Amino acid sequence: MTMDLSSARAALAGLLDVADLHDEALQERVQLALDRKTKPQGSLGRLESLALKLALIQGCERPQLQHPQMVVFAADHGLAARGVSAFPSEVTWQMVENFLAGGAAVSVLARQHGLALSVVDAGVKHEFAPRPGLISRKIGWGTADALQEPAMSLAECVAAIETGAGVVRSLPGNALLLGEMGIGNTSAAALLMARLTGESIDRCTGRGTGVDGPALVRKTEILRQVLARHADASDALAALAALGGFEIAMMVGAVLQAAQERRVIVVDGFIVSSAVLVASRLAPAVLQRCVFSHQSDESGHRLMLARLEAEPLLALGLRLGEGSGGALAWPLLESACRILAEMASFEAAGVSDREA
């Protein structure tokens, strides 16, 4: 049975009910606590605004980060056969194996910072042997070629969103760090950004895995044709189904579920941000729960962050993905919580706060 857009939204209605976190009284109390710490007001800069955001997400004056979960969603893309990536699609499953073996950048960084790492097979064209750390939730063996047909049916898209939400429900903790792997997924992210923000595909398309020169021109032209092929897919759900990927759709579900649970959502780079963009069009209040870890070197990411009114914590020239930027930013979140919980006030320390 074919699913239409109204049925798709009805199926997701529970996930889309994300409450506004605005709490003026709590905000005033936390800001006063920050101002009374033994320092000139505002002298810890962005760390103070981060501490305030974490307090508002958790609804308390002393937020605590417990059992943080790094979840990497992986899937293949039919559009990759068009040569939009510098690497073949086989690299997707090979990198999943690398994640699970502990050899990838995100594996190293997750170990360093005490982050539990799970890898979700959302739709990789490979059969993985069961093992610890792997969550098998395959919707299909890669998406369809979006130049020929929608990448996913609406039913597949809804299933992927619901599955991503279920993954989050199954995991402990109050902080979710998102990562992804999928050859061709910078193309899917660029397509979603162009469709949902109105930016030109030229400004949204970047090097991805390293395409440059004529290859980048060709990639951009293919994406322009894909947008024309699905010109009617303007609604966020319709655009996600027509242009996205299984891993992006699952991340949309993960964001929606984490937002409902008031988990802190740590957003990585361009592809994860595209999932947040879709989720925010479905439930705008999810952005109140999001901490944007960094501005990547992918050319469209700066523009996407601006559209999301996001202030990234870092700008290190990264364009790896995997959740690597989120892992690198994680210590800043821990520090922000410690400032609120452990730093003395002027009164408690017996320090004068008067100017000389």
* Residues in Cβ contact with 29 at an 8 Å cutoff, skipping those fewer than 6 apart: 61
> Rounded to whole angstroms, how far apart are CA atoms 292 and 272?
10
Phi, psi of 67 (to 5 degrees): 45, 60
Residue 322 known to be catalytic? yes
For 296: left if phi > 0, alpha if psi spans -120 to 50, otherwise beta; the answer is: beta
- The secondary element (H helix, E strand) that includes residue 286 is none
Structure tokens at 172: 């402990």
Question: Do the Cβ atoms of 119 and 180 come closer than 8 Å?
Answer: no
Which residue is listed with tokens 């996913």? Answer: 152
Complete DSSP assignment for 237-252: HHHHHHH--HHHHHHH
CA 100 to chain centre: 20
Catalytic residue among 322, 334, 347, 355: 322
The owner of tokens 């999001």 is: 290
Give the C-alpha separation, 338 to 51, whole Å: 9
Catalytic residues: 322
